[in-house]
Amino acid sequence: MVGSRVVARHRLPSPDPATGATLTDVVGDLVAADAEFLTVATRLGDIRVARADLTALKVIPPRPARSGAPHLAISVEDLQRVMLPAWGAVERGVLGDWRLRAAAGFTQRGNSVVPVGSPGLPLTTAVERVEAWYAARGLPARFAVAGPAGFEPDEDPLGAVLLGGGYTVGSRTLNLTAPTATVAGADPGGPAVTISADLTPEWLTAYRRSRATLPETTERVLRDGEHVAFGAIAPGGGLSQTLGLRDRDAAGTTPVCLARLAIGDGWAGVGAVWTDPAYRRRGLAAHLTARLAAYAKDAGVDLVHLQVESDNAAALSLYRAMGFATHSAYAYLTAPQSMAP
Ligand SMILES: CC(C)(COP(=O)(O)OP(=O)(O)OC[C@H]1O[C@@H](n2cnc3c(N)ncnc32)[C@H](O)[C@@H]1OP(=O)(O)O)[C@@H](O)C(=O)NCCC(=O)NCCS
């Protein structure tokens, strides 16, 4: 939780003479936490709150960078930070403010750097350090360079350094954001949904149908996170009735629609959305995404993000219909193959 923006509600030593209140809130970045005290960096400086006086501690989204709806008012950099806990990795490294992730090559997100803030070193030296970190793991260095939607990586100072070093631009991704209430409200209805904190063998079996996976690494990446939930629609649970299928067409226990949710830094992140090709265009992904947004809302989370490749027309149309708006974008820049061991 250290590093997140929080609201720390705690008891006052004596009731406020003006209002009679016995509790007060401190809002700011949690910069330290030990057995006795929390230190919160506020606009007025650091405030120490004794754990003995604490009645509630809640992680809240970063401070808005501009006016407007909260899901669009967060800065590009803060959204990149908020997205960090939403996808897993096997190993995480730190270089100044930059965050490095590795997962034996499974997923681009799990094997890339989020270069937000300062690495604490000149850029070229920082890039060399990153390359060495990935080389030690048998992986090419890969950076997620972010900017406003439509930005070109060479407009970014780090992007220009990487392109000058022979890096190639891979898939371009859009960050979409929405209020959880809007997405929950776009539920077309449908068959029973299960939302579980456990990664079940059935969920994993369906996930393996959706993409190439790596035994053990995939499980670790999917489970990684403080608050992760696995959503599924499986045969049974009214699926055949809802879709007008004969029972034999909707048999078995392997889910036909999946999505994963991870909560961190006051935001929910949706990922791994997939519908079995035989069940597409029947509203299942919309129903499951809406139910996960409702789950996040019930957990006190107001904002949701997801990432979609900019050429995935089906997914973009699904998410836009549910109230998601384009917030920003990023592109993966990958080291030349000769640098990979
Ligand atoms: C994208 C995907 C999850 C959609 O699943 P789905 O269950 O078919 O989606 P839904 O039936 O709930 O679609 C709801 C709405 O989204 C839009 N939509 C979904 N698929 C679409 C497509 N292929 N083309 C255009 N619009 C589409 C439509 O507006 C649709 O409503 P409609 O059918 O009434 O027109 C599915 O195509 C899939 O698994 N694709 C491969 C994995 C993937 O790309 N996942 C997303 C990663 S970010």
Among the listed residues 139, 111, 134, 127, the one whose alpha carbon sits nearest the alpha carbon of residue 166:
127
Q: Are both 212 and 316 inside the same structural domain?
A: yes
CA–CA gap between residue 190 and residue 285 (Å, rounded): 10
Q: Are both 217 and 309 inside the same structural domain?
A: yes
| Three-class DSSP category at 285 | helix
The arithmetic mean of pLDDT across residues 105-134, rounded, is 97
- Residue 312 CA: nearest ligand 1 atom is 44
Q: Which of the residue ranges 96-110, 237-251, 295-309 would you say has the lowest mean pLDDT?
A: 237-251
The set of protein residues with a Cβ atom below 6 angstroms from ligand 1 is 257, 273-275, 280-286, 308, 312, 314-315, 317-318, 321
> Ligand 1: which residue has its CA nearest to atom 44?
315
Q: What is the pLDDT of residue 242?
A: 72
What is the tally of structural domains in the chain? 3
Q: Are both 121 and 155 inside the same structural domain?
A: yes
Whether the per-residue pLDDT at 53 is higher than 50: the answer is yes
C-alpha 295 to ligand 1 mean position (Å): 21
The CATH number that applies at residue 278 is 3.40.630.30
CA–CA gap between residue 313 and residue 92 (Å, rounded): 32
Q: Are both 183 and 314 inside the same structural domain?
A: yes
C-alpha 191 to ligand 1 mean position (Å): 17
Best-predicted range by mean pLDDT among 65-69, 111-115, 167-171? 111-115
Q: Which of 20, 39, 60 is the last residue of a domain?
A: 60
Q: Are both 55 and 78 inside the same structural domain?
A: no
Q: Are both 92 and 162 inside the same structural domain?
A: yes
Q: Are both 228 and 308 inside the same structural domain?
A: yes
pLDDT range class, residue 309, cuts 50, 70, 90: very high
pLDDT tens digits for 192-239? Answer: 999 999 999 999 999 999 999 999 999 999 999 999 999 999 987 667
The arithmetic mean of pLDDT across residues 33-54, rounded, is 95
Q: What is the pLDDT of residue 245?
A: 64
> Ligand 1: which residue has its CA nearest to atom 15?
318
Among the listed residues 327, 270, 324, the one whose alpha carbon sits nearest the alpha carbon of residue 293:
270
Q: Are both 221 and 294 inside the same structural domain?
A: yes
DSSP string, 128-189: HHHHHHHHTTT---EEEEEESTT--GGGSHHHHHHHHTT-EEEEEEEEEEEEHHHHHHT---
- In the chain the beta strands, taken as DSSP E runs, fall at 5-11, 23-33, 37-42, 45-50, 54-60, 91-95, 98-102, 113-114, 142-147, 168-179, 194-196, 227-233, 257-264, 267-275, 303-309, 325-334
Q: Which of the residue ranges 88-92, 251-255, 301-305 would you say has the lowest mean pLDDT?
A: 251-255
Q: Are both 90 and 45 inside the same structural domain?
A: no
Q: Are both 168 and 245 inside the same structural domain?
A: no
C-beta of residue 79 within 8 angstroms of C-beta of residue 56: no
Determine, yes or no, domain membership for 65. no
Determine, yes or no, domain membership for 264. yes
* CB atoms near residue 308 (< 10 Å): 22
C-alpha 109 to ligand 1 mean position (Å): 22
Q: What is the pLDDT of residue 340?
A: 47
With 0-12 CB in 10 A as exposed, 13-18 as middle and 19+ as buried, what is 332? buried
CA–CA gap between residue 193 and residue 196 (Å, rounded): 10
Q: Which two tokens stand for residue 52?
A: 């003995």
- Residue 306 CA: nearest ligand 1 atom is 48
pLDDT tens digits for 282-291? Answer: 999 999 999 9
C-alpha 210 to ligand 1 mean position (Å): 14
The residue assigned the tokens 């939302």 is: 195
CA–CA gap between residue 80 and residue 229 (Å, rounded): 21
With 0-12 CB in 10 A as exposed, 13-18 as middle and 19+ as buried, what is 212? exposed
pLDDT range class, residue 271, cuts 50, 70, 90: very high
Q: What is the pLDDT of residue 250?
A: 54
Determine, yes or no, domain membership for 304. yes
Q: What is the pLDDT of residue 35?
A: 94
Q: What is the pLDDT of residue 246?
A: 57
C-beta of residue 301 within 8 angstroms of C-beta of residue 268: yes
**Structural domain span for residue 125:** 70-173+331-339
> Ligand 1: which residue has its CA nearest to atom 33?
281
pLDDT range class, residue 108, cuts 50, 70, 90: very high
Determine, yes or no, domain membership for 211. yes
pLDDT range class, residue 69, cuts 50, 70, 90: very high
The residue assigned the tokens 């219909």 is: 321
Report the mean per-residue pLDDT for the chain: 94
- Residue 287 CA: nearest ligand 1 atom is 12
Q: Are both 317 and 213 inside the same structural domain?
A: yes
Q: Are both 189 and 96 inside the same structural domain?
A: no
